[in-house]
Amino acid sequence: MKEENQDTTHFGYKTVESNQKESLVADVFHSVAAKYDIMNDFMSFGIHRLWKRQTIACSGVRKGHRVLDLAGGTGDLTAKFSQLVGDTGQVILGDINDSMLKVGRDKLRDLGLVNNIEYVQMNAQALPFPDNSIDVITIAFGLRNVTDKDEAIRSMYRVLKPGGRLLILEFSKTDNEALSKLYDFYSFNILPTMGKLVANDSESYRYLAESIRMHPDQETLKGMMETAGFEQASYQNFTGGIVALHRGFKY
């Protein structure tokens, strides 16, 4: 969410120059890439796998589709999409961070998934694809790290085919006061400690906790999708609203 001054934006709770955020976020993910999958399981107690499974179930991906797994990191969604699109389809694992892409590529190749996956380093704000060329776009736990989220959503809309859909899986806001207090304590006390112990990096995980708090709430993000042109925009809360899955269609 940008501030009124378009020259500045948020990096966690800090205000930074907009042109600095990309490199600051890059440093975070260069640091955590090697331990990213392990930390995901620790941080969410494995529940992130259920959130991603539900995203895949809502994607409508089928044989022959061209799918963009944007900010796809280590390729959890790409692995399943690769099986769904088959030999006649294609999955593009796209991420702005080359360290994350390398980890994802190595993992997927170890799983024997090589024939229908392409790896592309890209910025979500300027997707390197023609208009109307992608059937489905997913972005899981990546939008909050984008400098200009509105521009990124417009870019996703542009490259989707008519009839295509966008799914955004992201941390969001819970209305449950007790859950919110517990989540805050976990995020700012337990999570950085886990980051230090597992990944030898507490500051990156403190940033990730802060970036979640600065991300637009469910209704705001739904409105951003509608402004970009998406129709039938909706969202589904998971785990009391700690995470939400937004969905929209291009007609």
Chain centroid, CA 62 distance in Å: 21
- Is 198 among the domain residues? no
Q: What are phi and psi of 117, to 5 degrees?
A: -120, 135
pLDDT at 206: 83
For 36, residues 6+ apart whose C-beta sits below 8 A from its C-beta are 29, 73, 74, 100, 103
- Is 201 among the domain residues? no
pLDDT at 2: 43
pLDDT tens-digit readout, 149-164: 999 999 999 999 999 9
Contact between 147 and 9 (Cβ < 8 Å): yes
Q: Which domain holds residue 167?
A: 8-175+206-249
- Is 108 among the domain residues? yes
Which residue ranges in the chain fall short of pLDDT 50? 1-4
In DSSP notation, 147-176 reads S-HHHHHHHHHHHEEEEEEEEEEEE-----
- Is 86 among the domain residues? yes
Q: Rounded to two decimals, what is the model's pTM?
A: 0.87
Chain centroid, CA 142 distance in Å: 3
94 vs 100: CA distance, rounded Å: 10
pLDDT at 4: 42
- Was 95 annotated as part of a binding site? yes
CATH number, domain with residue 130: 3.40.50.150
Domain count, the chain: 1
- Is 186 among the domain residues? no
3 vs 8: CA distance, rounded Å: 7
- Is 182 among the domain residues? no
- Is 47 among the domain residues? yes
178 vs 176: CA distance, rounded Å: 6
How many distinct helices (H) and strands (E) make up the chain?
10, 9
Contact between 134 and 66 (Cβ < 8 Å): yes
pLDDT at 20: 76
- Was 138 annotated as part of a binding site? no
**Helix ranges restricted to H, 111-248:** 149-159, 177-185, 191-199, 202-214, 218-228
What CA dihedral angle connects 188, 41, 152 and 11, to 10 degrees? 20
For 91, residues 6+ apart whose C-beta sits below 8 A from its C-beta are 66, 67, 68, 69, 78, 81, 82, 85, 116, 117, 118
- Was 57 annotated as part of a binding site? no
- Is 165 among the domain residues? yes
- Kindly report the CA angle at 195 between 28 and 52, in degrees rounded to 5? 75
